[in-house]
Chain A
Amino acid sequence: MMKFIIRRLLSLIPTMFIIITLSFFLIHIAPGGPFSGEKKLPPHVLANILKKYHMDEPLGAQYLRYLNDVILHFDLGPSYRYEDQSVNGLISATMPRSIFLGFVSLLLSVALGGAAGIISALRQNKWQDYLSMSVAVIGISVPLFVIGPVIQLIFAMQLHWLPVTGWINSRAGWVTLIMPAVTLAFPYFAYIARLSRGSVLEVLRSDYIRTARAKGLKESVVIGKHVLKGAMLPVVSYLGPAFAGIITGSIVVETVFQIPGVGRIFVQSALNRDYTLIMGDIITYSAVLVFANFLVDVIYGFLDPRIAYK
């Protein structure tokens, strides 16, 4: 097991390297550049700017310079769009907010989604099942950009219970977290509820559960110990990418509730062709992602004794 973990960890390095390299060149292929705008810059002004950021050098040289800065100095460079900010500074300022919101939403969705899924599986084709699955289907079929504004319309504009937008450091404080966290949790709740319902049903029919029951174990023990553990697998393999997605922020939720998180700058940097900031985002996101997937693989081993790592 230990050997597997170490080997798996080492394989993250080439993965990251390939992602960085491919992204770097892809970004420069995309049409348009960071300094184009409705009013075109005079050529000599553009030349000055390109020179300032070493963008007048050949792409290969830029790539090596970038690798050198990132690997040796851990410096992601200056943002081309937000000229007074470094990419390191921007990401470290915005990332914690997204992580925090993401964690709250994830906890919410795992707890509620898991419970809803298990209850519907145990009460298959009863009203509890239909109710929670209907909520879940709404959760996945109504997009966030509808759920968010509708929640905002009801609770901020109509009932005036909550401020329209804000973040926990604003005057309104912690209550500002309620609407974005619920909105962000909704689709994840739905996914988890659906997935866990399905896998609990699956596990309930398997032979080892039948054996456990046959042995005369109490139903609560069977469910709590055997069913849940076996049923977690698909949920866990979904959670890897979901985790990476949820903590690196959602553009929709961050836009609708004006959360100064990393999700918004992720999308905007791509639209702005802010090369260094996109690269910084990609590196952050894929680091979280490959690590999350690594964790998932390790958790597999613990959850399911049938999996043997060779």
Chain B
Amino acid sequence: MATNAVNEFNQQVKPVSLWADAWKRLRKNRMSLFGLWVVGIYFLVALAAPILPLYDYTEQNLNHVNLPPSLKPAGVVAVAQEQKAIDQITDLVKNQGRADLQPNLDQKIAEMAQLQASLAADPTSNNVYIFGTDYLGRDMLSRVIYGGRISMMIGLVGTITAVLVGIIIGAIAGYAGGRLDNFLMRFVDIMYGLPYMLIVIILMSMVPQGTNSTVVLFVAIALVSWLTIARVVRGQIISLKNSEFVEAARSMGAGTGRIIFRHLLPNTLGVIIIFSTLQMPSFIMNESFLSFLGLGVSAPAASWGTLVSEGVQGMELYPWRLLVPAIAMTLFLFAMNFLGDGLRDALDPQSKNRA
């Protein structure tokens, strides 16, 4: 075993302290530490969601439809909102010659009366929706939190399967070269070429009713998620496999597996981590596309992806329905990215000896 500390190509110097070392470096990077905190809080909230004092994310309240974020009780916000609508229509009817809107006005006034009557009697009018409500008067806060549970899981499971499968296939293809490489890469081409949407549709129709659709969802995501990363890893391995440090390891009698996993892969870790953090958003968004096909969470449950795509539809009138889930999701992805960057730096075999 080489013990030469000056040789920067040999990461076998201190094999035991690899992770401890990385942790030390990670802690020094402020941005990634921030990322770590955010991600940690997200997971904590997601795990603790059932015991947090949240409104039921499926509970509808048609008196509280599309309320903006506010710290005031829902009843007060709803009355204010209704009054605004009445003022607007009154103006149209009185000042702009829109007598045809009189029925709308009458309806609004009747609704207002009913709303005010229910204020005292209805205990839900004391609810506080700090992130507003959606089109059925459901609490956006709890919908975003419960949506995050499924979306974060999809992001992680998708990324992990993509990375594992992608690394193995890519590394084997790149290192072995020749026929095997050609075969594996043509297989990747074929997987790219097949109509993914139809495969998902077929997959769903073959699964017997009542099967846990989340499992099918993960299968559907895992099916294609590894393709690009396999190609990227393969490219990296090809370019590294003839470098001096690999030759050195080989001449010292290291086996193929050892060369790939101990020498080549750590050197491609940077690209792999960047790629994984890059792909995570696409998995999360992919879920909303798959739920269009009927795969994924069924209503009334929601994921970040479905919340965001619903929010876009009404963004002119109810911006919070887009902003709340979009910001929640983006913040999480930001944190994951910074964390990924930090990990990359921390695990970089070359920076290690420089520390």
Can you list 5 residue pairs at the A/B interface with Cβ under 8 Å?
A: A11-B182, A14-B186, A142-B326, A237-B232, A296-B231
Bound Cα distance from A45 to B161, whole angstroms? 48
Selected from B227, B239, B278, B312, the residue in CB contact (under 8 A) with A191 is B278
Selected from B186, B242, B274, B281, the residue in CB contact (under 8 A) with A141 is B281
Closest partner residue, chain A, to B351 (CB atom): A205
Residues of A within 8 A of B8 (CB): 207
Bound Cα distance from A138 to B201, whole angstroms? 31
Q: State whether B274 touches A198 (Cβ < 8 A).
A: yes
Identify which of A140, A244, A271, A310 gathers the most chain B CB atoms within 10 Å of its CB. Answer: A140
Residues of A within 8 A of B60 (CB): none
Q: Mark B266-281, 1 if CB is under 8 A from A, else 0.
A: 0000110011001001
Q: Hey, which bits of chain B sit against chain A, CB under 8 A? A: 8-9, 31, 177-178, 182, 185-186, 189-190, 192-195, 197-199, 201-202, 205, 227-228, 231-232, 234-236, 238-240, 242-244, 270-271, 274-275, 278, 281-282, 285, 288, 305, 308-309, 312, 315-316, 322, 326, 329-330, 333-334, 337, 341, 344, 348, 350-351
Bound Cα distance from A238 to B348, whole angstroms? 21
**Of A24-32, A33-41, A219-227, which binds chain B?**
A24-32
**Of A52-60, A71-79, A92-100, A283-291, which binds chain B?**
A283-291
Q: Does A214 contact B (CB under 8 A)?
A: no
Q: How far is the CB of A240 from chain B (nearest CB, A)?
A: 7
Residues of B within 8 A of A179 (CB): none
Question: Given A146-B322, A146-B326, does the pair A286, B189 have CB atoms closer than 8 Å?
Answer: yes
Bound Cα distance from A233 to B228, whole angstroms? 13
Bound Cα distance from A29 to B309, whole angstroms? 30
Closest partner residue, chain B, to A300 (CB atom): B235
Q: How far is the CB of A241 from chain B (nearest CB, A)?
A: 6
Q: State whether A234 touches B232 (Cβ < 8 A).
A: yes
Identify which of B31, B312, B350 gathers the most chain A CB atoms within 10 Å of its CB. Answer: B312
Q: Does A149 contact B (CB under 8 A)?
A: yes
Chain A at the B interface: SS class: helix
Residues of B within 8 A of A271 (CB): 197
Bound Cα distance from A201 to B273, whole angstroms? 13
Residues of A within 8 A of B242 (CB): 306-308
Q: State whether B186 touches A31 (Cβ < 8 A).
A: no
Q: How far is the CB of A279 from chain B (nearest CB, A)?
A: 9
Residues of B within 8 A of A31 (CB): 201-202, 205
Residues of A within 8 A of B305 (CB): 143
Which A residues, 176 to 224, have Cβ-Cβ distances below 8 Å to chain B? 191, 194-195, 198-199, 201-202, 205-207
Q: State whether B238 touches A293 (Cβ < 8 A).
A: no
Q: Hey, which bits of chain A sit against chain B, CB under 8 A? A: 8, 11, 14-16, 18-19, 22-23, 26-27, 29-31, 125, 130, 133-134, 137-138, 140-143, 145-146, 149-150, 153, 157, 191, 194-195, 198-199, 201-202, 205-207, 233-234, 236-238, 240-241, 244, 267, 270-271, 278, 281-282, 285-286, 289-290, 293, 296, 300, 304, 306-308, 310
Residues of A within 8 A of B348 (CB): 205
Q: How far is the CB of A55 from chain B (nearest CB, A)?
A: 17
Question: Given A26-B194, A138-B330, A149-B315, does the pair A195, B189 have CB atoms closer than 8 Å?
Answer: no
Question: Given A30-B205, A234-B271, A240-B231, does the pair A141, B195 have CB atoms closer than 8 Å?
Answer: no
Bound Cα distance from A133 to B333, whole angstroms? 12
Residues of B within 8 A of A22 (CB): 190, 194
